[in-house]
């Protein structure tokens, strides 16, 4: 999906910035300052909305979560905080683990734990807290402890940051929140929270977490005494760290709530204009951070709704029990129920997508008149979406990895998209096959097995399988069993953590899509010296192309939606192949690929099917039928499903 060309800006200085964004050129500090200085709020918002849509389609994410703040007793005394108290305060409280567990329920997907730095709780209390939550509620993922808390644990219990994080991870920690950053300005830190860690320690903690496979968020507290230049510099430091680790899931601008802190600000609360512009500029500057969150707790639901058209693609969740912001005077409702969140997202014309902590979609909630189309979130699928309308009243795009698309199709909530061949084979009675898809004759360059061994030596070995794959894992099985005669391998699904996963316990790793490309262009994976392209291996064996995905439309989809989908597809693929580099250059830039490299990569794929592709599909179906029983294969998987 390329960006619109026909934007009209009231502020003429936005045109060169939009040109940079459209070609995948990174915005500078001066560009960020210019965006904040512009009086064309709508123009800035339109750019941010276009960028968000290129990344997330029409989707806006939310999670069923619960915020836990085990104690408000804290050893620090930060000027901006109305939450923390000393142990002798009449407002002081301490929760037991039993009390924390009583706040949770099995249908939640996330518990978010932050609180005061308690002077007396032992290290074992925190480990037991995380472990008992995971034991009692195995489907609830733990997002816990800011960098400030991790550093506090490190000092108090005389452990390194890595030791603290590893022990928490072993107990069940999955991701980290982004709090404690406030704003990365030493001037502001010395004035408002001089007892707190500075930017260097904050980044050290998060870099360590990312290296261990613990992804995190990052916040920015704005609207107090920081300058606009300090806001932009904060974003640039986040972007620089993300270039290095690729471990941030989302960026969360937090509007300062003055409460009774005594901090003098320009206004009692940030204005809606300031909130919307900050979110929009965040989306435009942070080209490498997947998601921008409109945290309704601090913005209010009304402003958060508008923010969904200004670059935000996440609403956080149902939250519940959030005290820190409300103790400082936040005026939003204490808890928004799932139905209310869905309604807010619908009001913005967006598609509500329920997610887990890693942004894997769990369910989608379209209006009855909407048809959901899967926007495959890989560079190799970019040519399909170039001509889908910027805004549609009947078709909504959702970025769904192959396996997620298959699961949601089984739920009946997705109408169309490039369905993995394996899923189409099992759901062909429910879907109409189109003459489009993703196929390649020879190398695919993005379905790769990184291995320590040659094929014959993989017997008895442990193979990591990305959680995103549906067809590629079956192609690997076909190659192992039917071509090389290997039957005693072990597959283990792992969540892709964008380069930070510890693969040391595996003998081979299957990656697909953008992560495979990123690894290939980044020099591979240390210790895995052999790289096998599965499509190339299939061709060497069968002398046929391999079909990874088939465009399909659910039978019974309304005629208007069907017509719009088919017209959009046809117009998109009418583009000559030599235009693919331009169409995919912004996406490719995020993977470190030049326009020429993108063009070469995309030109190898076959997007319109002929008899050769259909013959290849039939051949794969026959080979798949000759595999060992499904029961044995399911037992071979150690299910770490990712969602």
pLDDT in tens, 537-586: 999 999 999 999 999 999 999 999 999 999 999 999 998 877 888 888 88
pLDDT mean across residues, the chain: 88
Q: Which residues contact 627 (CB under 8 A, 6 or more apart)?
A: 474, 477, 478, 481, 482, 633
pLDDT in tens, 258-284: 654 444 445 555 789 999 999 999 999
Query: In the numeric block, which tokens belong to residue 368?
Result: 């009855």
The predicted model scores a pTM of 0.88
Query: In the numeric block, which tokens belong to residue 306?
Result: 């508008």
Return the percentage of the chain with pLDDT > 90, whole number: 66
User: So what's the pLDDT on residue 546?
Assistant: 98
pLDDT in tens, 380-426: 999 999 899 988 999 999 999 888 999 999 989 999 999 999 999 99
Name the pLDDT band for 635 (thresholds 50, 70, 90).
very low
Q: Which domains does the chain have, with CATH numbers?
A: 59-345 (3.20.20.70), 363-441+547-593+602-614 (3.40.190.10)
Look at the chain and count its residues.
643
User: So what's the pLDDT on residue 394?
Assistant: 96
Return the percentage of the chain with pLDDT > 70, whole number: 89
Q: Which residues contact 85 (CB under 8 A, 6 or more apart)?
A: 72, 73, 74, 91, 92, 116
Distance CA 563, CA 321 (A): 46
User: So what's the pLDDT on residue 639?
Assistant: 32
User: So what's the pLDDT on residue 89?
Assistant: 79
User: So what's the pLDDT on residue 583?
Assistant: 87
DSSP conformation class of 286: -
User: So what's the pLDDT on residue 79?
Assistant: 53
- Would you say residue 496 has pLDDT above 70? no
Name the pLDDT band for 19 (thresholds 50, 70, 90).
very high
Give the distance from CA 503 to its chain's centroid. Answer: 21
Name the pLDDT band for 83 (thresholds 50, 70, 90).
low
Name the pLDDT band for 334 (thresholds 50, 70, 90).
very low
Top pLDDT among 521 and 171 is at 171
What does the CA dihedral 187, 190, 191, 197 come to, rounded to 10 degrees? 110
């Amino acid at each position: 999906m390329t960006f619109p060309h026909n934007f009209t800006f009231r502020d003429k200085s936005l045109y060169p910035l939009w040109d940079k964004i459209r070609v995948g050129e990174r915005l500078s500090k001066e560009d960020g300052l210019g965006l904040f200085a512009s009086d064309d709020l709508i123009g800035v918002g339109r750019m941010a909305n276009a960028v968000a849509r290129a990344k997330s389609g029409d989707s806006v994410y939310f999670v069923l979560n619960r915020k836990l703040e085990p104690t408000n007793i804290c050893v620090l005394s930060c000027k901006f905080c109305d939450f923390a108290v000393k142990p002798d305060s009449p407002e002081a409280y301490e929760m037991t683990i039993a009390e924390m567990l009583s706040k949770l329920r099995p249908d939640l997907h996330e518990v978010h734990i932050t609180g005061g730095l308690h002077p007396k709780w032992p290290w074992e209390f925190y480990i037991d807290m995380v472990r008992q939550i995971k034991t009692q509620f195995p489907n609830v993922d733990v997002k816990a402890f800011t960098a400030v808390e991790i550093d506090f644990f490190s000092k108090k219990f005389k452990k390194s940051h890595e030791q603290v994080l590893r022990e928490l991870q072993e107990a069940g920690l999955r991701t980290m929140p982004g709090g404690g950053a406030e704003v990365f300005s030493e001037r502001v830190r010395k004035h408002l929270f001089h007892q707190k860690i500075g930017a260097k320690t904050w980044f050290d903690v998060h870099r360590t977490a990312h290296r261990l496979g613990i992804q995190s968020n990052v916040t920015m507290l704005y609207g107090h005494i920081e300058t606009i230049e300090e806001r932009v510099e904060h974003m640039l430091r986040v972007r620089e760290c993300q270039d290095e680790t690729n471990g941030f899931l989302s960026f969360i601008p937090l509007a300062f709530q003055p409460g009774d802190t005594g901090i003098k600000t320009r206004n009692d609360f940030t204005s809606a204009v300031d909130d919307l512009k900050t979110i929009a500029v965040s989306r435009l500057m942070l080209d490498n951070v997947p998601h921008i969150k409109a945290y309704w707790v601090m913005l209010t639901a009304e402003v958060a709704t508008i923010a969904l058209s200004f670059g935000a693609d996440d609403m956080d969740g149902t939250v519940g029990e959030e005290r820190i912001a409300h103790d400082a005077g936040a005026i939003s409702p204490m808890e928004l129920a799932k139905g209310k969140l869905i309604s807010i997202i619908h009001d913005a014309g967006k598609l509500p997508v329920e997610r887990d902590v890693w942004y894997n979609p769990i369910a989608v909630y379209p209006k009855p008149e909407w048809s959901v189309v899967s926007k495959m979130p890989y560079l190799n699928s970019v040519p399909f979406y170039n001509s889908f309308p910027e805004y549609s009243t009947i078709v909504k795009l959702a970025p769904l990895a192959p396996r997620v698309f298959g699961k949601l199709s089984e739920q009946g909530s997705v109408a169309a998209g490039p369905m993995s061949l394996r899923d189409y084979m099992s759901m062909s009675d429910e879907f109409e096959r189109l003459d489009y898809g993703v196929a390649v004759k020879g190398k695919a360059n993005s379905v790769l097995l990184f291995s320590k061994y040659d094929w014959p030596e993989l017997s008895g070995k442990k193979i990591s399988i990305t959680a995103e794959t549906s067809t590629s894992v079956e192609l690997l099985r076909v190659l192992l069993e039917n071509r090389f005669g290997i039957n005693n391998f072990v597959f283990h699904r792992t969540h892709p953590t964008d380069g930070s996963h510890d693969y040391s316990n595996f003998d081979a790793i299957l990656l697909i899509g953008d992560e495979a490309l990123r690894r290939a262009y980044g020099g591979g994976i240390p210790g895995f010296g052999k790289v096998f392209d599965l499509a190339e291996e299939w061709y060497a064996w069968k002398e046929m192309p391999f079909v990874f995905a088939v465009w399909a439309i659910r039978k019974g989809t309304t005629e208007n939606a069907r017509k719009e989908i088919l017209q959009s597809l046809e117009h998109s693929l009418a583009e000559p192949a030599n235009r693919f580099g331009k169409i995919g250059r912004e996406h490719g830039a995020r993977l470190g690929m030049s326009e020429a490299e993108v063009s070469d990569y995309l030109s190898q794929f076959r997007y319109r099917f002929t008899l050769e592709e259909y013959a290849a599909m039939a051949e794969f179906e026959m080979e798949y039928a000759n595999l060992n029983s499904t029961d044995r294969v399911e037992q071979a998987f150690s299910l770490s499903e990712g969602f």
